[in-house]
């Protein structure tokens, strides 16, 4: 017991010495828009384009690799939109949805119906009936805030299985789309504008996304009072042409990797969120170390946060006064070792081949495919995308196409 207490004591005393209340870094951004607004940095041009677009009732598609900051952008965007619309004194409803289960259009419609009904249940009997009777989902409202006349609701979903209490209301097997349109029409009588932020489309197959969009034109196009901002990932040339022909999205925002300077500012903002008093530097990281870390992050905020979280924890446990090059070199080896050990041998083998080849792309050599027991690059893609979602591989796009690179957290010598 005394050994555990001494370890924790050293850990806590380091944070106190650094004037930090806790380790602020997490792989994923906070889902509290107010807290995220304190941390968010950069993407000014994207915000300048997106806020007026949503206000006009037009739709936005946000694209980019895993970990590039799509969720951060959307959460900060709807928070800034909330502030600006409230200043105008207009009545607006903003709904942020994540974790929509299922792969069918009906699952998407049911989630929209559940969220809009939950937000209207105190003012509309039909909405109240939907909340009481709609089956198939369990909805969790993680945050509700009001700014002036603007309401912001944050929802997440899970699947449930229940017996219908009222056969006249939609259940897991009924088509919710007609009722969704009806409830939305009612909502537009109460609000000047309604914005849906859908933050899990990039987790669904592009074919599913295309099917939903093609079957929902009146949902996405036939109202000046509602707008959608959704995440998406790569589409084929044919799907791209289909999307453009549908005319659903007014803006298509493709997020590029961030600069080292932007990443440095993000680190400062994270640190200031838990500092006893704000500073304009990266202490306890030295500038030399921060330059290394922002290089290792490869332009991806999620990689940046993961690296900072692990390095800060290790340095605190070792009791360093600051994280200079000597301290970083010491703890970085431990961080890489722990991270690499946590990866299965099969994935480590693929990472090693990727490291040796300078990444994996369409031009992968036949000898490397043979080492990976794969016939073609296409047959490797599902595994590569899965590893991207784990943060083990980083997807970079340039004129030569897509290349998957190992995370700098991986230690090739292991």
Q: Which tens digits make up the pLDDT trace of 300-352?
A: 999 999 999 999 999 999 999 999 999 999 999 999 999 999 999 999 999 99
pLDDT band for position 128 (50/70/90)? Answer: confident
- Tokens 């970079």 belong to 396
Q: Looking at residue 232, what is its pLDDT?
A: 74
pLDDT band for position 140 (50/70/90)? Answer: low
Average pLDDT over residues 249-278: 95
Q: Looking at residue 209, what is its pLDDT?
A: 79
- When mean pLDDT is compared across 236-250, 272-286, 296-310, the lowest value belongs to 236-250
Residue 41 burial (CB count, 10 A): 20
Q: Which residue has the higher pLDDT, 253 or 202?
A: 253
- When mean pLDDT is compared across 37-41, 161-165, 342-346, 365-369, the lowest value belongs to 161-165
Q: Which residue has the higher pLDDT, 239 or 198?
A: 198
Find out whether 187 and 86 touch, Cβ atoms under 8 Å.
Answer: no
Residue 27 has pLDDT above 80, yes or no: yes
Q: Which residue has the higher pLDDT, 257 or 108?
A: 257
C-alpha 294/C-alpha 305 separation (Å) is 10
What are the angstrom distances between the C-alpha of 371 and each of 331, 352, 356, 375, 412?
32, 11, 12, 10, 16
Find out whether 352 and 410 touch, Cβ atoms under 8 Å.
Answer: no
C-alpha 301/C-alpha 266 separation (Å) is 8
Of the ranges 47-56, 134-143, 147-156, 205-214, the best mean pLDDT one: 47-56
Average pLDDT over residues 127-133: 78
The torsion angle over the Cα atoms of residues 394, 398, 400 and 404, rounded to 10 degrees, is 0
Residue 164 has pLDDT above 60, yes or no: no
pLDDT band for position 1 (50/70/90)? Answer: very low
| pTM (predicted TM-score) | 0.86
pLDDT band for position 137 (50/70/90)? Answer: low
Half-sphere exposure of 258 (CA within 13 A, CB side): 29
Q: Which residue has the higher pLDDT, 253 or 166?
A: 253
- When mean pLDDT is compared across 35-49, 292-306, 397-411, the lowest value belongs to 397-411
Average pLDDT over residues 262-286: 96
Burial classification of residue 192, based on how many CB atoms lie within 10 Å of its CB (0-12 exposed, 13-18 middle, 19 or more buried): middle
Of the ranges 87-91, 137-141, 146-150, 270-274, the best mean pLDDT one: 270-274
Q: Looking at residue 167, what is its pLDDT?
A: 44
Q: Token digits for 239?
A: 């799907």
Q: Looking at residue 190, what is its pLDDT?
A: 87
- Three-state SS at 129: helix
pLDDT band for position 6 (50/70/90)? Answer: confident
Average pLDDT over residues 217-232: 86
Total length of the chain:
414
The torsion angle over the Cα atoms of residues 92, 96, 101 and 106, rounded to 10 degrees, is 20
Q: Phi first, then psi: give them for residue 124, nearest 5 degrees.
A: -145, 130
- When mean pLDDT is compared across 123-137, 272-286, 340-354, the lowest value belongs to 123-137
Q: Token digits for 142?
A: 């993680």
Average pLDDT over residues 273-288: 96
Of the ranges 179-188, 236-245, 258-267, the best mean pLDDT one: 258-267
Q: Looking at residue 169, what is its pLDDT?
A: 46
First to last CA, the chain: 33
Find out whether 343 and 386 touch, Cβ atoms under 8 Å.
Answer: no
Find out whether 117 and 139 touch, Cβ atoms under 8 Å.
Answer: no
C-alpha 142/C-alpha 194 separation (Å) is 19
- According to DSSP, residue 231 is labeled E
Q: Token digits for 20?
A: 């930090």
Closest CA to 71 of 103, 42, 36: 36
Q: Looking at residue 35, what is its pLDDT?
A: 86
Average pLDDT over residues 186-195: 90
């Amino acid at each position: 017991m005394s050994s555990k207490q001494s370890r924790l004591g050293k850990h806590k005393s380091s944070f106190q010495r650094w004037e930090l209340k806790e380790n602020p870094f997490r792989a994923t951004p906070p889902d509290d828009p107010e807290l995220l607004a304190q941390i968010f940095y950069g993407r000014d041009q994207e915000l300048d384009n997106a806020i007026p677009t949503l206000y006009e009732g037009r739709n936005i598609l946000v694209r980019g690799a895993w970990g590039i900051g799509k969720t951060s952008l959307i959460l900060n965007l709807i928070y800034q939109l909330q502030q600006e619309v409230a200043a105008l004194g207009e009545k607006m409803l903003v709904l942020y949805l994540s974790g929509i289960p299922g792969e069918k259009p009906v699952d998407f419609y049911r989630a929209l119906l559940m969220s809009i009904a939950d937000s209207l249940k105190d003012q509309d009997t039909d909405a109240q009936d939907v909340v009481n009777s709609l089956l198939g989902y369990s909805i969790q409202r993680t945050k509700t805030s009001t700014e002036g006349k603007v309401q912001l609701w944050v929802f997440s979903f899970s699947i449930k299985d229940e017996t219908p209490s009222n056969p006249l209301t939609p259940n897991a097997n009924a088509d919710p789309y007609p009722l969704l349109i009806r409830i939305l029409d009612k909502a537009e009588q109460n609000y000047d504008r309604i914005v849906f932020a859908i933050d899990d489309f990039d987790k669904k197959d592009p074919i599913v996304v295309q099917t939903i969009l093609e079957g929902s034109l009146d949902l996405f196009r036939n109202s000046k009072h509602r707008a959608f901002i959704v995440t998406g990932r790569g589409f084929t040339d044919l799907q791209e042409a289909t999307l453009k022909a549908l005319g659903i999205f007014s803006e298509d925002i493709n997020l590029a990797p961030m600069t080292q300077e932007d990443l440095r500012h993000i680190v400062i903002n994270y640190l200031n969120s838990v500092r006893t008093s704000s500073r304009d530097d990266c202490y306890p990281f030295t500038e030399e170390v921060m330059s290394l870390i922002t290089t290792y992050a490869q332009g991806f905020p999620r990689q940046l946060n993961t690296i900072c979280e692990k390095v800060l924890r290790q340095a605190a446990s070792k009791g360093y006064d600051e994280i200079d090059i000597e301290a970083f070199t010491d703890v970085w080896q431990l961080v890489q070792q722990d991270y690499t050990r946590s990866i299965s041998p099969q994935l480590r083998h693929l990472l090693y081949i990727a490291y040796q080849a300078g990444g994996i792309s369409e031009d992968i050599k036949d000898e490397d495919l043979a080492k990976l027991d794969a016939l073609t690059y296409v047959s490797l893609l599902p595994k590569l995308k899965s590893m991207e979602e784990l943060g083990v591989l980083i997807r970079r796009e340039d004129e030569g196409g897509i290349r998957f690179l190992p995370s700098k957290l991986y230690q090739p010598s292991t």
